[in-house]
A and B are shown apart, each in its own frame.
Chain A
Amino acid sequence: MAKVVLENIRKSFGSLDVIKGIDLAVEDGEFCVFVGPSGCGKSTLLRMISGLETSSDGRMLIGDRDVTHAEPSQRGIAMVFQSYALYPHLTVRDNIGFGLSLAGRPKAEIAAKVEKTAETLQLTHLLDRKPKALSGGQRQRVAIGRAIIRDPKVFLFDEPLSNLDAALRSQMRMELTDLHARLGATMIYVTHDQVEAMTMADKIVVLNAGRVEQVGSPMELYNRPASPFVAGFIGSPKMNLYEGAIAAAEGCTTYGIRPEHLSMSTSEGKWKGTIRHIERLGADTVLYLDQPDLMSIVVRVPGDAELALRQEIFVTPVPGKEHRF
């Protein structure tokens, strides 16, 4: 178990700066999620922590040890890949035990450890299968098993759920959260999916173009986004963001209000708009309004609201929920 500290970490490929100086501390036992749009550098940063990529500059500590120049296998980390990266020619048993076998550990010890790991993950009945004969969720678990058996101080996950279907994904989210609670290990998790970030993280790190945009707990990011970027990235449907005259009227450069923080009325309100499009999600209904000044507003209303296309309605921001940047 260990704390991970990054100090002014940088990475460039030739003249292209991918990571532009990151300072970050991931506390011992924390579940930390790196989130951001594709190309923001989140996977590169994770690979730098793993040691698969070198840092061009800066210092990196895992559990008070300087690992900036350490080999991946010497850092006390384990990694679960997006593709799982299970060795296709080895059985589940040999996949999980591969690292120990490379280290030349006695066969009996490897066998015992593999059994124990398999039990924790309910993989015992699959031990003699090849990865090809496993379902997506089972492969995922084998990949986790291969990580657990190394008894790492830090687990690294690189978008591990993106190859699964929606139902399995939400199940695996829960399993991973359980696993974290059980092992109490430090985990760093990369995703582009803000739902995964919100549901699993103790701490979210929002990355944008190689820089940290904001660090905080899920609700901090939701309630007090530090920038329009974070505001737009966290929360679904996206926050309504306005610049120019409207923002100026509100006394800021960017004005934002979340769809769920607009109250609707058929008689009066701050803005009057025409319903252009209705999305019925069941519990909620999302309305897309045309409004002369704002151009477009997205509003979230209860699922049973009786509304029709082209209907004119009024919306008003809930006091105290507006964001001014």
Chain B
Amino acid sequence: MTRRQFYTGVISLAVAGVIFILPFVFVLLTAVKTKQDAALLTFSWPVEWHFLDNLTEVLRTRNYMLLLAYFNSTVITVCSVTLLVLFGAMVGYVLQRRPSGWNKVIYAFVLAGLMIPPAVVPTIWILQSVGLFKTLTGMVFIQVAYGLAFSVLLFRSFIATIPRDLDEAAIIDGAKPWQIFFRVILPLLKPVTVTVIVVQSISIFNDFTNPLYYLPGRENVTVQLTLYNFQGQFQTQFNLLFMNILLVTIPPLIVFVFFNRQIVAGMTAGAVKG
């Protein structure tokens, strides 16, 4: 490393520190302040550290709403990501392995899924008519419908790297179609599956708009909705509001620390190929 590279690095880190790290430090500091201290909105060391007090108070708010929200968000995320992996891999597999006139249609739908904003009110109307409006099940299927396109694309391009000889060897070994998929292909999809899980989990966990529309009602609250609700309620209790932001930021941070590589792989998929 040259001196120039070293100093450029130091300066860049200083600038990035102010722009990208300080806002998070501000969240952390405000979250542990007292109510009066936090209300000043200043970037300052807390007069008193109230980490545990604020934590328990946030959790207790509105009859442990935040815990319920974490539960709901977890259920939605786990269920929809499971289905997204399974469905995405199955569609990507057939799409890649079986060229036919249908493929163009499926591709058109995939692109539409990536591009078109969901038609909200008609969706509510359909959810209502099948009895899934305001239900976690309905929310899970919504997330699956909206996340499919991305999953299919990732799986399809990964499956293209698995030699077809393997399928044929399995056919000769007497495998049925579902056995080829579940016993030969699916185990080989591990790297891309991890990527899909990580990227989709984060986006579903962070999703605000869709629960806002499709999951109204107290008992269905999700983590992002609590932030939105508390924003109104805690106008004067910034310490609690920021404690909530802190809590919502921690899951992605943990995922980021452990799965940085998979996130990068997923987010940049297609960037090189175009």
Contact = CB atoms under 8 A, between A and B. Distances in A.
A and B touch in the complex (CB under 8 A): yes
Interface of A: 50-52, 72-73, 77-79, 81-89, 98-99, 102-103, 146, 150
Contacts of B187: 89
A89 B169 contact: no
Given A52-B168, A81-B169, A85-B169, A103 B174 contact: yes
Given A87-B184, A89-B187, A72 B166 contact: no
A86 B169 CA distance: 8
B contact face: mostly helix, strand, loop, or mixed: helix
Interface of B: 163, 165-166, 168-176, 179, 183-184, 187-188
* Most chain B Cβ neighbours within 10 Å, of A81, A82, A84, A85: A85
Contact of A83 (B163, B172, B175, B183): B163
A52 B163 CA distance: 15
B173 A146 contact: yes
Given A98-B173, A102-B174, A89 B188 contact: yes
Given A88-B188, A89-B187, A89-B188, A99 B166 contact: no
A82 B188 CA distance: 20
B188 A102 contact: no
A275 to B, nearest CB: 47
Contact of A79 (B163, B172, B174): B172
Contacts of B175: 73, 102
A66 B182 CA distance: 31
A268 to B, nearest CB: 58
A226 B188 CA distance: 49
A14 to B, nearest CB: 13
B174 A99 contact: yes
A110 to B, nearest CB: 12
B188 A85 contact: no
A51 B173 CA distance: 12
Contacts of A78: 172
A94 B241 CA distance: 55
Contacts of A83: 163, 165
A79 B169 contact: yes
B192 to A, nearest CB: 14
Contact of A73 (B163, B165, B172): B172
B173 A99 contact: yes
Which 3 pairs between the two chains have the least Cβ-Cβ distance? A73-B174, A99-B173, A85-B165
Contact of A102 (B166, B168, B183): B183
Contacts of A86: 169
B188 A77 contact: no
A72 B169 contact: no
A278 B238 CA distance: 91
- With a 10 A CB-CB cut-off, give which of B169, B172, B175 has the most chain A CB atoms: B172
Contact of A72 (B165, B172, B183, B188): B172
A85 B166 CA distance: 5
Contacts of A84: 165
Contact of B171 (A72, A88, A146, A150): A72
Contacts of A103: 174
Nearest to B165: A85
Contacts of B168: 52, 79, 81, 85
B4 to A, nearest CB: 42
Contacts of A89: 187-188
B266 to A, nearest CB: 21
A273 B69 CA distance: 94
A316 to B, nearest CB: 51
Nearest to A82: B165
A87 B175 CA distance: 13
Contact of A52 (B172, B176, B179): B172
A51 B184 CA distance: 20
Contacts of A87: 166, 169-170, 184
Nearest to A73: B174
Nearest to B173: A99
Contacts of B166: 85, 87
B170 A98 contact: yes
A228 B168 CA distance: 36
B70 to A, nearest CB: 35
A73 B174 CA distance: 5
Contacts of B169: 79, 81, 85-87, 146
A291 B68 CA distance: 94
B177 to A, nearest CB: 11
A175 B31 CA distance: 73
A103 B172 CA distance: 12
A83 to B, nearest CB: 5
A78 to B, nearest CB: 7
Nearest to B187: A89
B188 A73 contact: no
A234 B188 CA distance: 42
B163 A102 contact: no
12 contacts: A50-B172, A77-B172, A79-B168, A83-B163, A85-B163, A85-B165, A85-B169, A87-B184, A98-B170, A99-B173, A99-B174, A103-B174
B85 to A, nearest CB: 17
